[in-house]
Amino acid sequence: MHAQTVLGPIAADQMGITLPHEHLLIDFEVMFRAPASASDRGLAYQPVSMENLGWIRQNFSSNLDNLRLLDENVARDEALLFKNAGGRTLVDPTNRGLARDPLALARVARATGLNIVMGSGYYVAAAHPPDMGARTEDAIAREIVADLTVGVDGTGVRAGFIGEIGTTWPWTESEKKVVRAAVHAQRETGAPLMIHPGRHERLPLEIVEMIRKAGGDLDRTIMCHIERTIADRAVLLELAATGVYLEYDLFGLETSYYPYNPAFDMPNDGERMRQILFLIERGHLAQILMSHDIAYKHCLTRWGGFGYHHLLVNVVPRLRGKGADDATIETLLVANPRRAFVFA
């Protein structure tokens, strides 16, 4: 049983405390939304600073600089905060179209001593290459398999899972094709599969149904961003019953305004913990993953954010205070990601 890092395979028991969803280096420009009005547009093109940080916290996808994590020395320093707090492994689902950087991830892994696991495949349609419509499912699957088994684009650095595979709502044909290709690649390699669901409460269930029909391994499928997708606990339990991992990966996002879907009130960490404790009570402890999905400057400590160590430093003590014992914490931070990220 092994996981595959950017520096090669490691035994599952080497993974330790694992963050299953963090971007260390990413160009997230595809998510940029230029504001409508002139003065806001001025803020949109400023570098992140104390003067505009409040505005950026509220409108985090409308500042171009905020969407860019392009400095590997910053990535290294911020990742070390997680390591110094006890972390061992960090999973980075940045994939094609988001400026994935295998060699820089390998350098950050060497510089920090962290295990770094890299993603493969394609994010949402907005990040697809222009000729995606003409590509075959088989060609996409073969490309993902090559990333996992040979290495990415001649670097020799191999991806460690398939994802995050992007979907939007409404779900596009190209995105459906990529999901089917991803399942193909999973069947061929035994790699974990990670899905970024579009923002509709029932879409995760639809995606799971497609994966199941295509012969995917639901026990090693991770559904991301649960807390910004599903508010109804009946739907949550319906998804949990399928057996997929439920990833609460927006810890540290404490503002309720959610620019990608203003109709949905983003829960805070308190509500995230309530949902997790509810799922545990219903017998789903072994399916829960926790992370921060850091992909923005304002999430990093250098720009006033909580950083990659937020879960360990701020959330775990609160979970203990709410009654989670050592074994539960160990399951959430170590055993679950270990099971999720080993190859079958």
Which residues contact Zn ion (rule: CB under 5 A)? 164, 196, 224
Closer residue to Zn ion, CB minimum distance, 203 or 280 = 203
Say what the alpha-carbon torsion angle 190, 153, 17, 249 is, to the nearest 10 degrees.
Answer: -90
Extended strands (E) in 200-284: 221-223, 245-248
Report, in Å, the least distance between residue 115 CB and Zn ion: 21
Give whichever of 164 and 175 is closer to Zn ion, judged by the CB atom. Answer: 164
Nearer Cβ to Zn ion (90/280):
90
Query: Do the Cβ atoms of 295 and 23 come closer than 8 Å?
Result: yes
- Rounded Cα distance, 228 and 263, in Å: 11
**Beta carbon of residue 194, minimum distance to Zn ion (angstroms, whole number):** 9
Nearer to Zn ion, 158 or 196 (CB): 196
Name the closest residue to Zn ion (Cβ): 196
Nearest approach, Cβ of residue 144 and Zn ion (Å): 17
Provide the minimum distance between the beta carbon of 293 and Zn ion in the complex, in angstroms, as a whole number: 6
Residue 267 or 331: which CB sits closer to Zn ion?
A: 267
Q: Hey, is 50 helix, strand or coil? A: coil
Rounded CA-CA distance 100/295 in Å is 12
The CB-of-21 to Zn ion minimum distance in angstroms stands at 7
Q: How far apart are the first and last CA of the chain?
A: 7
Q: Is residue 223 helix, strand or coil?
A: strand
C-beta of 224: minimal distance to Zn ion in Å? 5
User: Which has the closest alpha carbon to 100: 115, 113, 82, 119?
Assistant: 119
C-beta of 10 vs 118, nearer to Zn ion: 118
Tell me the three state secondary structure of residue 339.
Answer: helix
